[in-house]
Amino acid sequence: MFDRLCLIGVGLIGSSIAHRARRDGLAKEIVATARSQATRDTVARLKIADKVYATAAEAVAGADLVILCTPPGAFGAVAKEIAPHLAPGAILTDVGSVKQAVVDDVGPHVPPGVHFVPGHPVAGTENSGPESGFAELFEGRWSILTPPQATDPAATDKLAAFWKALGSKVEVMDARHHDLVLAITSHVPHLIAYNIVGTAADLEEVTQSEVIKFSAGGFRDFTRIAASDPTMWRDIFLGNKEAVLEMLGRFTEDLTALQRAIRWGDGDTLFNLFTRTRAIRREVIDAGQETPAADFGRPHGKG
Ligand code: NAP
């Protein structure tokens, strides 16, 4: 589909793209770069790229598809570095979990003749680094593309075809809409997990061993989400501030209503909500976004 696919940053997402693109022959050549020598050495050892470069500027030269796969906070600096070296006609995209911030940070650096199509594969695990990737990560998951209005629709279509070849289903939407939807489906749930695990860790009277010992009561499932990469999630909350604060406001109101129901012994309110939420779980399973087994959609044995 592409002559030269360039991955900037090769962690969970970058290496998963590389595995799949290599397995299915989606690019004649795959090149990559990463910040540290250690990651570049690992990429070379795993043989998921044909060439590994020390700098992003060298890596993007001649590439017809460039994918930014670093944490979102680094996109602006990377875009500035690579801009003079991008090939005319290339598609520049990213995999960042926030989208309006990418439009704002990367957009101004995109040279004329380069097609800018921000993207976000809604797939992941709590693991990071080049060794955590696998070819099936995007299978059956949604990838969202948020092209700015001026983007050539043919470039969006070509990138959509690439994500479909990676196993994804594709939806195109406005960047701000993406950020609002993801605030409630991903960002706020992560904040809740980080918070509850933090609260438990702070409880002096509940010893660490008891927290671990009885964790299967529900806490364990939050710890998986709260093990997600700190840099990436810091960048997500700073990059999607408005939508996250909006959703947190609603969440807090609803939580207060539940608190009140418990205080006043209002069992009907609790029961009705828990019945509605159980139905949503069923819808998630029916939509193919989860299996009934509590493995969070991860392939067994992948962390
Ligand atoms: P990751 O495993 O931590 O890998 C990040 C990669 O970016 C590494 O190669 C790292 O290089 C490089 N990097 C880090 N900081 C950098 C900087 N300041 N400048 C240049 N390179 C830098 O991350 P990931 O989970 O693959 O996430 C990457 C992107 O995918 C993020 O934008 C995230 O929002 C998005 N995303 C993640 C998930 C998920 O569940 N993880 C899901 C969907 C989208 P070194 O190894 O050399 O430090």
Nearest CA to ligand 1 atom 13: 70
Ligand 1 atom showing the smallest separation from residue 120 Cα? 44
Nearest CA to ligand 1 atom 16: 70
Encode pLDDT of 36-63 as tens digits: 999 999 999 999 999 999 999 999 999 9
The CB of 144 under 6 Å from ligand 1? The reply is: no
What pLDDT is attached to residue 300? 40
CA of 148 relative to ligand 1 center, distance in Å: 23
Range list for CATH 3.40.50.720 in the chain: 2-173
CA of 129 relative to ligand 1 center, distance in Å: 8
What pLDDT is attached to residue 209? 79
CA of 130 relative to ligand 1 center, distance in Å: 9
Residue 207: what are its φ and ψ, rounded to 5°? Answer: -70, 155
CA of 51 relative to ligand 1 center, distance in Å: 19
CA of 135 relative to ligand 1 center, distance in Å: 17
Distance, in Å, from the CA atom of 52 to the CA atom of 59, rounded to the nearest integer, reads 8
Nearest CA to ligand 1 atom 41: 124
What pLDDT is attached to residue 211? 84
How many residues are there in the chain? Answer: 303
Nearest CA to ligand 1 atom 31: 71
The CB of 298 under 6 Å from ligand 1? The reply is: no
Which residues lie below 8 Å from residue 240, measured CB to CB, with a gap of 6+? 98, 100, 101, 179, 182, 183, 187
Distance, in Å, from the CA atom of 182 to the CA atom of 236, rounded to the nearest integer, reads 10
**Is the Cβ–Cβ distance between 24 and 165 less than 8 Å?**
yes
Nearest CA to ligand 1 atom 35: 96
Does domain 177-265 fall under CATH 1.10.3660.10? My reply is yes
Range list for CATH 1.10.3660.10 in the chain: 177-265
Sign of CA dihedral 149, 150, 153, 158: negative
Class of CATH domain 2-173: alpha beta
The CB of 95 under 6 Å from ligand 1? The reply is: yes
CA of 71 relative to ligand 1 center, distance in Å: 4
Distance, in Å, from the CA atom of 60 to the CA atom of 114, rounded to the nearest integer, reads 12
Per-residue pLDDT of the chain (303 residues; tens, 9 = 90+): 999 999 999 999 999 999 999 999 999 999 999 999 999 999 999 999 999 999 999 999 999 999 999 999 999 999 999 999 999 999 999 999 999 999 999 999 999 999 999 999 999 888 999 999 999 999 999 999 999 999 999 999 999 999 999 999 999 999 999 999 999 999 999 999 999 999 988 886 667 778 888 888 889 999 999 999 999 999 999 999 999 999 999 999 999 999 999 999 999 999 999 999 999 999 988 988 886 665 444 444 443
DSSP string, the chain: -EEEEEEES-SHHHHHHHHHHHHTT-EEEEEEE-SSHHHHHHHHHHT-SSEEESSHHHHHTT-SEEEE-S-GGGHHHHHHHHGGGPPTT-EEEE--S-SHHHHHHHGGGPPTT-EE--EEE----S--SGGG--TTTTTT-EEEE---TTS-HHHHHHHHHHHHHTT-EEEE--HHHHHHHHIIIIIHHHHHHHHHHHHHHH-TTS-HHHHHHTGGGTHHHHHHHTTS-HHHHHHHHHHTHHHHHHHHHHHHHHHHHHHHHHHTT-HHHHHHHHHHHHHHHHHHHHTTS--SSSSTTPPTT--
